[in-house]
Structure 1
Amino acid sequence: MTTKNLFLVKAVQVIEAVELNCGPVDGAAPLRLEGQAGVTLFVGPNNCGKTALLEAIHYAFSGSGHSPQELKKSALKKVRLHAFENKILDDHPALAGKEEEETVFFPRGHYSRMDFSKMSPRQWNEYMGGVFREPLCVWMNGAKRLAMLPAEEGADLQSPSGPLARLLTDDTRRKGFQTAAKAGIDYYPVIDTVSRYGTLKLAFASAAPDAETERSLNKSLIDYLKTALPAEHASDGFNAYTGMLGALHASDFKVILIDEPEAFLHPTLARTLGRQVAEKAGDKQVYIATHSADFLMGAVESGVPIRIVRLQYHAGVSTARLLDNDTLRRLMNDPMMRSANVLSGLFAQAVVVTEADADRAFYQEINNRLLSAKDPRGIDNALFLNAHEKSTVPRLVEPLRHMGVPTIGIVDLDVLAEGGENWAKQMRAVGVPEVRRRTFETARQSVFELLRGVSTDGKQKNYKQRGGVTLLSGGEKDAAEALLSDVEDYGLLVVSQGELESWLSNIEVDRDKHGWLRSIFDALGSDPNDANYVKPGDADVWGFLGRARSWFADPARKGMVFEV
């Protein structure tokens, strides 16, 4: 990048910093986001304040929209602006190219370049500054996503102000918009100037448009549009997708705010849009709130530098963590992480990582039944992930905790057989302090030898199938239970009676690994109104998941040291 381009990127920035009122943990220094060009993504579970934060940024920047009283729940503390400079006038979409005294319509009055040149230096942070900044910002939220390219009646093509008029009169912008949209929906968005005379409206055509035809009013345009689909007859997905893309291509907004861009879009299109928005950001300041791992993946895959901030609201405390891009890229580039859908964990209130897919399916079903019964042991907004095997559980747990996501691992009792580095990985992943790891390792060795001693097979391994810790007695059993309780405090839950297939032992099913899941699901039943449908009980696996829920609910839970 040349020195000149560096200067231009700096010159168009309006926001100096976005300051939040919370940090990675309660009491930590609040997060400050420097106002750099590019994309900042806010992620996190439902009701963590993502939308409220965007609304607050919109109001703070433009002075329009919701009042500050309605935004008290927001994590925003302040939006700091760069000092006013006259050269900002040359970048203003309504004032660029206008004469000094030429009057221009603004959302809140009529003003000229001269008016702003005189008033802005002293009113940059007051009402007039907001009037000037309002056209620099676009707020795409809710229904607005479906109306970003509305029909324009009596459009002035000499001084175009609406997005369709700007696109129609600028072949380069329109071509870029159409090419981008075709890549996502396989249709070209075209501007219909003949179906309703004097009105510009959007339509979708399967054949590539010709610039001369589009800007004409002759028969060739009429024939071309005969087979086109009017926007009002297109799906919400088509309109939302092209509306957001069109707004980005048609206007020179300096601040772009988008809430849930994935709404109305199928996952593949959300991923495409994430990449396209990131690539189009350029020197703009783009702030996006999303619930979609697909949109996030698309943005990261663009190769454009992005910032990701994870918000969370738990036990009355808001937190905000700036995520490490290197960690995210490692997660995306690791085939196992991709297959486990780890990035979805960023949008969950709680994540449970299991050894295998059978474990994931079973524990998720047990949790669903607890929630359906309104049992307090159920884990709300939980994501269950499959690590494929015991040794890879830490590979999912540790990075998620580093990113501020409360995450536990569930493993069978033979985790105690994995000494050395494998056990150390489990302990590091759940945040056991180094000084305690040595104690836990000594206890692990002792308990494992006790379990081998009660095994009845030649390899001394069948303690896992015969009952696990229940085979021990007296002080030996107390020692084993104490170790499992200690690691459970850090969010690693070990099946004390042996293995997954040992749960719900009162139900007569085939306990062979290969057929157990299907057998137990059949026995559990699928119709809650059926007399044989199995509902939550007092102990067994129901209580086991209840202990997991207790760890998630505890504001002082151990093992989340990565948040500090």
Structure 2
Amino acid sequence: MSTAPAADDTAPSEPFGLYCDSITLRDGTPLDMPISGVTVVVGPNNSGKSTLLREIHMSLTNPGRVFPENLAVSSAQWKAMGSVEQFKEWIDSNYEIAKRSVVGEEVVKFHQAETLLYQALQSWENPNSPSTSVLSMIFLSRSDVSERIAMVAETGRRATTDTPPTHPLHYIEDERSLMSRLDRVASDIFGIRLTLDNTMANLRVRIGMPDTAAPRYDEETREYTRAVNKLPQLSYQGDGVRHFIGMLLPLLTSKCTVTIIDEPEAFLHPPQAFALGRLLGQIARERSMQVLLATHDKDLLAGLTFSDAPLTVIRTQRTHEEARVTLLDRAAIENLWQNPVLRYSNVLSGLFHQVAVLAEAEDDCRFYEAALDEYRRRNSAGEDAASNQHLDILFVPTHGKGAMPKIAKLMRQLAIPVVIAADLDLLMEKTKVTQAAEAASAVDAKSRIKEIEDLWRDCMVEYRKSRPPRTVSQVRQALEAELNKASATDEYGNDLKNRLSDLISDDATPSTMLKRTGISAFHGESYNAATSLIKILEDSNVVLATVGELESFAPSVATAKGPQWLTDALEAKAHTHQPAQDHIKRLLDVANRAASEAMPIE
């Protein structure tokens, strides 16, 4: 990573340098970049996040060139902030840094550097000409994990303090306020102190503070040297702290205006990732930098939203070898994170999965996950195996049906494909049915609402108005199914008595009957309308449990509900039985289609 003179913590009133003005996607869509701030790329595994960064870097280092063969980015455009006179002054005052950026560290002839820097000067007014590639060498940097880890290794000291710096630690040595800030950050985030060791031939960062006061620069003492050398070196510490500090060193000292970082959250725990996100935003704003990064971490993304820096969020999705890139609304992310309930859920994690399945409760999510694992085990071969095996699904509990449309809409605003998985009694209220269809559908569901409402009326109005008298056979079947959930030695307690009474009584609520008996609760034309309604809801990414409710997948389990039900159901292998496997097959079919059709909603 190229480096340059340290800057003050406060950003200049007018940014100066070369900035990424915009990128043009393969389909011709332009994406404007904020002059100072953070652009973060999110998406599922293997969706093209790192590829997008590489293609942006390729386009910026080849200004004026279009790459039609790229998967996502066909070109990028530079913008020069500042006049030609300002740039000439910058060249004059930073000649050694600029020369080293464009011709490397090796000894070169003076006229070679002069020619390249003159070329850069001539390109300032036309930053998107091919010759501007020289400017990109000065103002653009790219950082990977191995480079950041290596950044904290010791480096040789300069012969004199007048020698131009070539490493971030040289700038830290020249500007002690930078070391103070680095020390504060390490103390706040890792609970450690940092000391710059300049007592030997090489500069290095050590953990802790010496027990002897630091002497004046020209009065170095043996006691202080010994005290410093007792401290452990940062380069010998864990990957997390080395990676974190190794990332900050060049960000705090570099003259680069555009920095590209892949997976900045590597080796970090959630609180540290959140702190890093917030810090990256602060540094970008303070130093008028553009930071472009790709992440898999919702905590880092949340930290960025708290930094007050301009933030652009791009989501990548790969479908059938096509890379889809969507610009997201920052306000939608902030709304999710600031919601006191959703903040501590896994909703934001949906950004890093191909599709989210919303279920009513935690037990539903865990049961469906187990059923999905079994389905994939059984169907590891076959023509649909590839899509079913690799579809990255996140199950999200919504804690009831009422929140499903709201959460689905919020996730769809973030270009996250959504499937709603609900019990059959969702049909009891027409409004909930239409709201679920509109919120989850990947296409305009309004065109289907009239048909949904007509089918709902045909099945539910008749169902609620007059159900035909039940036969003795139907009552017997219902009682046997309930009794089979208990073992012969179980106590005949009040809970079981009440459930049996509900089944015998004709006063059981329509909702209870739907949950208990499933789709068989409908008869005749009402049944035909119900099956048609269930099918059109699946076309709108809403999948109903035709068995009635979650507990109906495990009829042999005596536990009616509660925390013990899931354990008993899994031990009984209910998730491997055909009703559960049929339901998962329906969920997977809808999820695959939703992932391929996904588009954000306004």
TM-score (norm 1): 0.85
- In the alignment, structure 1 residue 221 sits paired with structure 2 residue 216: no
1:46 and 2:74 matched: no
In 1, the alpha carbon distance for the partners of 2:438 and 2:97 equals 66
Residue of structure 2 equivalent to 1:495: 545
**Pairwise CA distance, 1:295:** 0.5
Alignment counterpart, residue 93 of structure 2, candidates 92, 97, 122: 97
Gap change, CA 1:212 and 1:536, over 3 Å in 2: farther
For 1:363-378, list aligned pairs within 5 A.
363-375=368-380, 376=385, 377=388
Equivalent position of 1:425 in the other structure? 435
Q: 2:57 is matched with which residue? A: 58
Is residue 403 of structure 1 aligned with residue 414 of structure 2? yes
Q: How many Å separate the matches in 2 of 1:544 and 1:141?
A: 43
Aligned to 1:78: 75
Among 389, 393, 404, the alignment partner of 1:393 is 404
Change (3 A) 1:438 1:45: same
Change (3 A) 1:313 1:281: same
What is the match of residue 317 of structure 1? 322
Aligned to 1:531: none
Which residue of 1 is the match for residue 485 of structure 2?
Answer: none
8 Å CA contact retained: 1:371, 1:379: no
In structure 1, how many angstroms separate the alpha carbons of the residues matched to 2:582 and 2:56?
44
Aligned length: 532
CA distance in 2, matches of 1:397, 1:535: 26
What amino acid does structure 2 have at the position aligned with 1:477?
Y
Corresponding residue number in structure 1 for 2:297: 292
Matched, 1:513 2:561: yes
Judge which range, 82-91 or 334-343, deviates more: 82-91
CA contact (8 A) 1:332 1:338 kept: yes
Tell me which residue corresponds to 1:528.
Answer: none
CA distance in 2, matches of 1:214, 1:227: 20
Matches of 2:211 and 2:321, distance apart in 1:
54
The farther-off stretch of 185-194 and 405-414 is 185-194
> Does 2:536 correspond to 1:486?
yes
Matched, 1:249 2:252: yes
Moved more, 147-156 or 352-361: 147-156
Most deviating of 238-247 and 368-377: 368-377
Q: Does 1:172 align with 2:172?
A: no
Distance 1:463 1:440 in 2: 22
Instruction: Spell out the pairing of 1:107-506 with structure 2 (5 A cutoff).
Output: 108-109=103-104, 110=108, 115-116=115-116, 118-122=118-122, 129-156=132-159, 157-158=161-162, 159-194=164-199, 197-205=200-208, 217-282=220-285, 283-375=288-380, 376=385, 377=388, 380-420=391-431, 422-431=432-441, 433-452=445-464, 453=467, 456-505=506-555
Structure 2 Cα separation of the partners of residues 413 and 215 of structure 1: 81
Q: Which amino acid aligns with 2:584?
A: L
CA contact (8 A) 1:310 1:323 kept: yes
The CA RMSD measured in Å over matched residues stands at 3.3
Shift of 1:166: 0.7
Tell me, which stretches of 5 or more residues in structure 1 are unaligned? Answer: 23-28, 525-533
Instruction: Assess, with a 3 A threshold, how the Cα gap between structure 1 residues 180 and 461 changes in structure 2: closer, same or farther.
Output: same
Q: Is the 8 A contact 2:569 2:575 kept in 1?
A: no
Shift in Å, 1:500? 0.6
Aligned to 1:540: 579
2:22 and 2:31 in contact (8 A); partners too: yes
Where 1:14 maps in the other structure, the secondary structure is strand
Give the deviation of 1:217 after TM superposition.
3.9
Cα distance between partner residues in 2 of 1:258 and 1:39: 11
Q: Tell me the CA shift for residue 136 of structure 1.
A: 2.1
Query: Structure 2 CA distance, aligned partners of 1:126 and 1:504?
Result: 68
Q: Quick one: distance in 2 between partners of 1:182 and 1:74?
A: 42
Secondary structure in 2 matching 1:167: helix
Within 2, Cα distance between the matches of 1:210 and 1:74? 57
Q: Secondary structure at the match of 1:303?
A: coil
Structure of larger gyration radius:
2
Cα distance in 2 between the residues matched to 1:209 and 1:490: 70
Rate the CA distance shift 1:374–1:235 in 2: closer, same or farther, 3 A. Answer: farther
Q: Is contact 1:351–1:406 with CA below 8 Å preserved after alignment?
A: yes
Q: Secondary structure at the match of 2:316?
A: strand
In structure 2, stretches of 5+ residues that fail to align are 1-9, 469-502
- For normalisation by structure 2, the TM-score amounts to 0.80
Aligned-residue offset at 1:118: 2.9
For residues 11-47 of structure 1, the C-alpha deviation after alignment (integer angstroms, 9 at most, x for no partner) is 334322222214xxxxxx5242235211000100111
Q: Is the 8 A contact 2:145 2:264 kept in 1?
A: no
**In structure 1, C-alpha distance between the alignment counterparts of 2:237 and 2:379, rounded to whole Å:** 41
Match of 1:106 among 101, 110, 118: 101
| CA-to-aligned-CA distance 1:240-284 (integer Å, 9 cap, x gap) | 001111111122221111100011111111111000001110211
Change (3 A) 1:361 1:535: closer
3-state SS of 1:353 partner: strand
Equivalent residue of 1:146, what SS?
helix
Judge which range, 133-142 or 393-402, deviates more.
133-142
Task: Indicate the larger mover: 445-454 or 52-61.
Answer: 445-454
The alpha-carbon distance between structure 1 residues 215 and 442, as it changes in their structure 2 partners (threshold 3 A), is farther
Q: Give the Å deviation of 1:495.
A: 0.8
Q: Aligned partners of 1:424, 1:30: CA distance in 2, in Å?
A: 33
Aligned counterparts of 1:561 and 1:89: Cα–Cα separation in 2: 43
